[in-house]
A and B are shown apart, each in its own frame.
Chain A
Amino acid sequence: MGAIEGILTGFEVAFSWEGILFVLLGVFVGTFIGMLPGLGPISAIAIMIPITYGMDPTLALVMMAGVYYGAVFGGSTSSILLNAPGISGTVASSFDGYPMAQQGKAGKALAIAAISSFAGGTISVVLLMIFAPMLASVAISFGPPAYFALMLLGLTAIASLSEGSTIKALISAVVGFMIATIGIDPQTGTGRFTFGSMNLLDGIDFLVIALGLFAIAEVCYLVMNRHKSSAGSGKEIGSLKLSKDDAKEMSGPVGRQSLLGFILGILPGAGATIASFISYIAEKRIAKKPEEFGKGSVKGLAAPEASNNAATSGAFVPLLSLGIPGSGTTAVMLGAFLVLGLEPGPMLMGDHPEVFWGIIASMYIGNIFLLVLNLPLIPYIARILTIPRPLLISLVLMFSLIGVYAISFSVFDLYLLLAFGVIGFLMRMFAFPAPPFILAFILGGMMEQSFRQSMTISNGSISIMFENNISLVLIILSVLSFSFPIAKSIWSKKKVS
Chain B
Amino acid sequence: MKKLLALSIFLLMLLFLAACGGEDTLSNDDNANDEDTKENSGEDNGGWTPSESIEMVAPAGAGGGWDTTARMSAQALTEESMIDQDMGVVNKEGAGGAIGWAYMAEQEGSNHDLFVSSSPILLVPLNGQSEYGHEDFTPIANVIADYGAFAVAEDAKWDNLNELFEDMKEDPQSVTIVGTSAPGSMDHIQFVRFAKAAGVDITKIKYVSAPDAGGVTQVLNGSADVFSTGVAEVAEQVRADKLKVLAVTSEERLDGEVLSTFPTAKEQGIDETFVNWRGFFGPKDMDPAAVEYYENKFKELSDSEAFADVRSNYGWNEMYMGSEEYKQFLDEEKENLKSILEELGLLE
Contact residues of A with B, CB < 8 Å? Answer: 32-33, 36, 39, 42-47, 49-50, 53, 139-145, 184-191, 198-199, 201-202, 268-269, 318, 322-328, 331-332, 335, 338-341, 343-348, 383-384, 387, 395, 398-399, 402, 405-406, 408-410, 449, 453, 456-457, 459
Name A454's closest neighbour in chain B (CB-CB): B223
Beyond the given A201-B129, A453-B210, please list 11 additional residue pairs across the A-B interface where CB-CB is below 8 A.
Answer: A42-B63, A47-B22, A49-B68, A144-B208, A186-B209, A187-B183, A189-B183, A189-B209, A325-B212, A346-B239, A395-B9
Name B243's closest neighbour in chain A (CB-CB): A346
Structural contact, A347 and B95, CB atoms closer than 8 A: no
Q: Please tell me which one of the listed residues A190, A387, A395, A409 contacts residue B93 in the complex, with CB atoms under 8 A apart.
A: A409
Query: CA A318 – CA B214 in complex, angstroms?
Result: 11
How would residues 12 to 32 of chain B score, 1 for a CB under 8 Å from any chain A CB and 0 otherwise? 010111011011001000000
Name A398's closest neighbour in chain B (CB-CB): B13
Name A144's closest neighbour in chain B (CB-CB): B223
A388 CB to closest chain B CB (Å) equals 9
Could you say which residues of chain B place their CB within 8 Å of the CB of A406? 19-20
Interface centre among B20, B22, B222 (most CB of A within 10 A): B20
A319 CB to closest chain B CB (Å) equals 9
Q: Please tell me which one of the listed residues A139, A191, A346 contacts residue B217 in the complex, with CB atoms under 8 A apart.
A: A139
How many residues on chain B are close to A (CB under 8 Å)? 67
Q: Does B236 contact A (CB under 8 A)?
A: yes
Given A189-B127, A324-B216, A331-B213, answer yes or no on A202-B62 (Cβ-Cβ < 8 Å): no
Could you say which residues of chain B place their CB within 8 Å of the CB of A341? 313
Query: CA A339 – CA B76 in complex, angstroms?
Result: 13
Name B71's closest neighbour in chain A (CB-CB): A50
Query: CA A50 – CA B182 in complex, angstroms?
Result: 30
B59 CB to closest chain A CB (Å) equals 12
Query: CA A338 – CA B99 in complex, angstroms?
Result: 27
Structural contact, A198 and B102, CB atoms closer than 8 A: yes
Interface centre among A44, A45, A323 (most CB of B within 10 A): A323
Structural contact, B206 and A456, CB atoms closer than 8 A: yes
Structural contact, B236 and A346, CB atoms closer than 8 A: yes
Q: Does B220 contact A (CB under 8 A)?
A: yes
Structural contact, B62 and A457, CB atoms closer than 8 A: no
Structural contact, A343 and B223, CB atoms closer than 8 A: no
Name A324's closest neighbour in chain B (CB-CB): B213
Given A184-B182, A338-B313, A409-B92, answer yes or no on A325-B239 (Cβ-Cβ < 8 Å): no
Q: Does B185 contact A (CB under 8 A)?
A: yes
Could you say which residues of chain A place their CB within 8 Å of the CB of B210? 144, 453
Structural contact, A326 and B182, CB atoms closer than 8 A: no
Could you say which residues of chain A place their CB within 8 Å of the CB of B102? 198
How would residues 110 to 138 of chain B score, 1 for a CB under 8 Å from any chain A CB and 0 otherwise? 00000000000000000101100000000
Query: CA A143 – CA B223 in complex, angstroms?
Result: 6
Given A187-B209, A346-B240, answer yes or no on A339-B23 (Cβ-Cβ < 8 Å): no
Structural contact, B75 and A53, CB atoms closer than 8 A: yes
Q: Please tell me which one of the listed residues B13, B208, B236 contacts residue A344 in the complex, with CB atoms under 8 A apart.
A: B236
Query: CA A187 – CA B182 in complex, angstroms?
Result: 6
Given A141-B221, A202-B94, A339-B313, answer yes or no on A323-B236 (Cβ-Cβ < 8 Å): yes
Structural contact, B239 and A50, CB atoms closer than 8 A: no
Q: Does B253 contact A (CB under 8 A)?
A: no
Structural contact, B182 and A140, CB atoms closer than 8 A: no
Structural contact, A347 and B313, CB atoms closer than 8 A: no
Query: CA A28 – CA B280 in complex, angstroms?
Result: 37
Structural contact, A345 and B236, CB atoms closer than 8 A: yes
